[in-house]
Amino acid sequence: MCNEYARKKSLDELLAEFAQVYGDSPLFAWENDHTPNDLSGKASVRIRDTAPIFRLSENRLVGSMTPWAWPGPGGKPVFNFVSENRDFSRNDRVLVFADAFYEYTAPEAPRVKLKDRHEFRLAGHDWFWMAGIVKDGCFALLTTRPGPDLAPYHDRGIIPLAPKAGLDWLTLARPQAEILAPLPAGSLTHTLLRKDGADLTA
């Protein structure tokens, strides 16, 4: 399951993207008109980090900085949430901005402790949304069974949504099962970043 993602675009760049994708509808605003102090992009967002999420309120896309993962009954962080066979119509549905997410697999080489690191992006898009919900002032990313692109690397996957498709999750303009379905083959691009302890990006 996803415990790390990237939002390398700055929030200013993201707002410019909003204008291209949505035009003037919906209008954008920061919650309580409070612009975040840190607008820079992040190559790595991890559990319990604070990140921008977006809701639809009175036909406005409203952004707020929110911690990732609420505390579960035993104290463990709930950062992913199973979506199958659940109705989210009464939940606090949100969109989480990303341009990549990461998965980790066991290395093949013996005595290597660092896991292999894989980066996934939404094919044909510079950025995407991830479907999420908020509880107790924190967000979690919804997951489903993996599509063909992700299945070789993990048995669960987050739910990436194309920029224009994100509003469907906030408005439930389509059936939930359709919005939250696994992506078909070819939807994700894959880059191997680390193999058997070696950084392939160096």
Calpha distance 165→169 (Å, rounded):
7
The fold adopted by the segment(s) 4-199 is hypothetical protein yedk fold (3.90.1680)
pLDDT surpassing 80 at residue 135? yes
3 state SS of 82: strand
pLDDT for residue 1 is more than 70: no
d(CA 72, CA 112): 32
Residues 33, 36, 40, 41, CA torsion sign: negative
pLDDT in tens, 21-60: 887 677 788 998 888 888 899 999 999 999 999 999 888 8
